Amino acid sequence: MGTGNDNENRNTRWVDADRLEIPEITRPGFEAPVLKRRIWEPPAEADAADPPAKAQTPRRWQLRLLRMNSPARECFTTEEDRFTIGKSTDADYTIAGNPAVSRIHAVIYRVGNDYYLEDQGSLNHTFVNEEMITGPYRLRSSLLIRFANEDFLFTMREVTESAGPGI
C-alpha cells in the first residue's frame, strides 16, 4: 500500500531544477543548444567506393510561416535548408513576445527534396494539425503548426528559374 507521499509526488507540477538529472542523449544529432549540445548534424556523405547516384537536380523550395495570432499577420519566408525557431534572438526566426515558446523551440531541415520539423525538447511541445510530434515530421504545404501556443500556417512552393534574361 502506498503512502500519502506517493500521491503527493504524482500530483507535483514543479521540479527543483538543482536536483534534476538530465540523461545523456542516446540518439545523436538533434539536441538543444540550451543543454550545450549540437542542434543538427547533416547526414554523412556517401563513400567514394559507392557508385554515383543517378544525377538529380535538387529542387529549390520557398518555405513560409504565417503567424496566425499576430494582428499584423507576421510572415517569415526562407529558402534555407535548415533553420531554427524560438524566442531567442539566436534563432533564425524569433517568435517575440511569448514566454511559452522555448529559446530554440524547433528546427526545420532539408533531407534531399523533403523538409522535416523536429521539436528541440521544448517544454510546451510542437504540434502539427493538433497532434504533438515526438520525432522528425515530414512537412508538406498547408499545415497548421503550433509552437507552444503560437499557431502558424506552413506553406511551401517550388522556386523555378525565370525564363527571361537576367531580370
37 falls within a domain: no
CATH number at residue 128: 2.60.200.20
Question: Would you say how long the chain is, in residues?
Answer: 167
List Cβ<8 Å contacts ≥24 apart for 82-87.
Answer: 82/40, 82/107, 82/108, 82/109, 82/110, 83/107, 83/108, 83/109, 84/39, 84/120, 85/147, 86/120, 86/147
Strands (E), 49-162: 60-67, 75-78, 82-86, 93-94, 106-111, 114-119, 126-128, 131-132, 137-138, 143-147, 150-159
Split into its structural domains, the chain has a count of 1
Query: Is 101 inside any structural domain?
Result: yes
Residue 89 pLDDT grade (very low, low, confident, very high; cuts 50, 70, 90): very high
Look at residue 86 and tell me if it is in a domain.
yes
Residue 95 belongs to some domain of the structure: yes
Domain of 108 in residue numbering reads as 81-150
Is 82:108 a contact under the CB 8 Å cutoff? yes
Using the predicted structure, report yes or no on whether residue 74 has a pLDDT greater than 70.
yes
pLDDT at 167: 43
pLDDT at position 99 over 70? yes
Confidence of residue 97 (pLDDT cuts 50, 70, 90): confident
Strand intervals (E) in 2-113: 60-67, 75-78, 82-86, 93-94, 106-111
Q: How confident is the model at residue 23, as a pLDDT? A: 60
CA 79 → CA 46, 140, 149, 156, distances in Å? 25, 15, 25, 10
Residue 14 lies in a domain: no
Let me know if residue 54 belongs to a domain. no
- Rounded Cα gap, residues 79 and 63, in angstroms: 6
- Cell numbers representing residue 54 in the block: 543517378
pLDDT-based confidence at residue 159 (cuts at 50, 70, 90): confident
- H or E element at residue 11: helix 4-11
In a domain, 104, yes or no: yes
Least confident of 23-32, 65-74, 90-99, 150-159: 23-32
The more confident residue out of 84 and 37 is: 84
* Of the listed ranges 30-34, 69-73, 90-94, 131-135, the one predicted with least confidence: 30-34
Residue 41 lies in a domain: no
Mean pLDDT of 131-143: 95
